Amino acid sequence: MSLSLILPMSAFALAASISPGPVNLVCLSSGTRYPVSRGLVFVTGATLGFVALFIAVGLGLFSLLTMLPIFEEILRWAGVVFLLYLSVKLATDNGRLPEGESRKAPGFTTGALMQWLNPKAWLASASGIGAYTSANDLDQILMFASVYLPICWLSLACWVYAGAFLRRYVQRPEVLVTVNRTLALLLAASCLYLVIG
């Protein structure tokens, strides 16, 4: 595969990965609340979950969902429920930064699952594969996935580090409660895309 194709693939992967979305908001929140290392576990799960979804979409999963609309509907409502669950957890947080291991950060499995329920991930997979690969060309799909993997991981990690940077300014519980509720509202608002779209 030529550099002339890898560069646009990389630009697409960067734009899709670093732009705000549900997973990015959870990364930001994790960075404000937990040590960076715990946020990066979530990032790793989200990245590998996305790459698995990307390859599955490239191999025809998106076509299967289009042919069987009931599965698409189930996926949409599962995404809504999962995002609302995360929103409620964030909104009801007391704003106190955890001491040691007393609170459980979103982990690897949450990150991986969240990508499969994330409309942004499905859209990025389908549009990227449609634009930059030939239909069902496994070599091209795997090449694009290998380009996507480090870009997605680094992009999501940037959101965790941004949260860690903000942590210095949100030490007071009342400030963190405001930040959490704002992020929860944005996360819940992203459900509108699932319901309307």
Q: What is the mean pLDDT of each run of 10 residues along the chain (197 residues)?
A: 82 89 88 90 97 90 71 72 76 64 78 87 84 80 94 96 85 73 76 65
Lookup: tokens for 49: 């979950």
Lookup: tokens for 36: 């960076």
Radius of gyration of the chain (CA): 17
Q: What is the pTM of this model?
A: 0.77
Chain centre to alpha carbon of residue 22: 6
Q: Crossing angle, helix 108-116 and helix 36-58, to 10 degrees?
A: 30
Q: State the Cα torsion 44-161-146-23 to the nearest 10°.
A: 60
